[in-house]
């Protein structure tokens, strides 16, 4: 079958690779669409855990084969996948915390991914796409579910003064979850024009450019105070420090953006304001069920996230181009 193969950092080719063979409890999917995620970019730039690796985890597709022991699924069903495969049996899984599973494995990271014609996944991580939902929208569901899991980390009320730092796919998904929950006062900060436009169309009260404007002054004039809830979705040392600086006394900061760099923080600034710090990791199957209900009830328009659709053949060149700049919210690869 055809697949995008990451030979090494910055070196991806389209190649012919062996078809996956389904084992106990697994199904084979004919991949239809797969979104490019920041995680894919991270591996593209630094190399995957294994050489000659296939990335891609935010996918939709059609079941073509069910492996031994799979019940309740059949060939021809349209699905999306919780790409964080939880074992379903460990202490965390039994408490409904599959995102923290002892034996968690991720599609496209520990399992060969979905930038390919076919991929295999555990049946317990599958979700049916509601009728009327396109495969492209199906591939966006895992991203929106990440945002919903982030949203669940803080108790936002309709009048909570909220700031989202970063209008990438995850920041925008947090905005979607907040708007569906009826939170009115959500301000988004980003300097990327594509992200700013999307945040405005998804119902942000205001969109701040943190380079051109003084963020604290703008927030003060919008809210008449500092925000009580800040979602840090940019993952840069400067924005993490900014989240701690901008949040109100007694407020909550939710750490979301993946930051691999050291930051220098003076803890007393955190203590003196009595800031609650939360974090968000991955997704659970229950999160998927909620977002799929929203999709079925047409509570969200996933299409606003898609800025480009490309073919699998165009992926290596597209990935190389992405290292130079970021003008896209979500690129969907049609396999």
* Contact set with Zn ion (CB under 5 A): 37, 39, 86-87, 90, 93, 101
Min separation Cβ 25 and Zn ion, Å = 14
How far is 184 from 175, CA to CA, in rounded Å? Answer: 10
Smallest gap from Cβ 37 to Zn ion, in A, equals 3
CA–CA separation, 125 and 82 (whole Å): 5
User: CA–CA separation, 324 vs 320, rounded Å?
Assistant: 8
Under a CB-based contact definition with an 8 Å cutoff, are residues 330 and 38 in contact? no
For the CB of residue 333, give the shortest distance to Zn ion in the complex, in Å: 13
Inter-residue contact 174 to 152 (CB < 8 Å): no
Q: Could you tell me which of 164, 203, 165, 208 has the C-alpha nearest to residue 184? A: 203
Residue whose CB is less far from Zn ion, 104 or 154: 104
- In terms of Cα–Cα distance, which of 175, 103, 121, 184 is closest to 146? 175
* Packed helices 169-180 and 193-201: angle between N→C axes, nearest 10 degrees: 10
CB of 178 to Zn ion, least distance (A): 20
Q: Which two tokens stand for residue 43?
A: 């591996």
In angstroms, what is the minimal distance from the CB of 142 to Zn ion?
A: 6
Which of 136, 228 has the CB closer to Zn ion?
A: 136
Q: 101 or 254, CB closer to Zn ion? A: 101
32 vs 58, beta carbon nearer Zn ion: 58
Residue linked to tokens 């084969």: 65
The residue with tokens 């119902």 is 203
Choose between 39 and 290: whose C-beta lies nearer to Zn ion. 39
Give residue for tokens 């977002």.
291
Nearer Cβ to Zn ion (87/304): 87
Shortest Cβ 108–Zn ion spacing (Å): 8
């Amino acid at each position: 079958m055809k697949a995008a193969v990451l030979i090494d950092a910055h070196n991806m080719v389209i190649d012919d690779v062996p078809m996956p063979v389904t084992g106990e409890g697994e199904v084979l999917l004919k991949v239809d669409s797969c979104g490019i995620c920041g995680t894919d970019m991270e591996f593209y730039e630094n190399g995957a855990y294994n050489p000659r690796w296939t990335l891609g985890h935010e996918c939709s597709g059609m079941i073509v084969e069910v492996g031994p022991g799979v019940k309740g699924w059949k060939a021809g069903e349209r699905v999306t996948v919780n790409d964080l495969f939880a074992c379903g049996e460990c202490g965390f899984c039994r408490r409904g915390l599959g995102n923290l599973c002892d034996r968690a494995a991720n599609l496209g990271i520990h399992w060969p991914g979905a930038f390919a014609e076919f991929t295999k996944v555990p049946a317990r991580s599958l979700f049916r796409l509601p009728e009327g939902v396109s495969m492209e929208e199906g591939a966006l569901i895992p991203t929106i579910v990440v945002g919903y899991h982030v949203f669940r980390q803080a108790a936002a009320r309709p009048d909570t003064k909220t700031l989202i730092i970063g209008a990438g796919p995850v920041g925008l998904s947090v905005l979607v979850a907040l708007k569906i929950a009826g939170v009115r006062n959500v301000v988004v900060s980003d300097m990327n024009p594509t992200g700013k436009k999307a945040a405005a169309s998804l119902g942000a009260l205001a969109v701040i450019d943190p380079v051109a404007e003084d963020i604290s002054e703008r927030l003060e004039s919008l809210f008449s105070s500092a925000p009580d809830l800040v979602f840090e979705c940019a993952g840069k040392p400067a924005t993490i420090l900014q989240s701690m600086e901008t949040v109100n006394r007694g407020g909550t900061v939710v750490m979301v953006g993946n930051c691999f760099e050291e930051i220098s923080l003076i803890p007393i600034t955190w203590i003196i304001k009595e800031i609650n710090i939360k974090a968000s990791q991955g997704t659970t199957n229950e999160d998927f069920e909620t977002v799929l209900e929203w999709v079925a009830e047409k509570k969200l328009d996933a299409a606003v996230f898609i800025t480009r659709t490309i073919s699998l053949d165009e992926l290596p060149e597209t990935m190389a181009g992405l290292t130079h700049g970021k003008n896209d919210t979500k690129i969907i690869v049609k396999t």
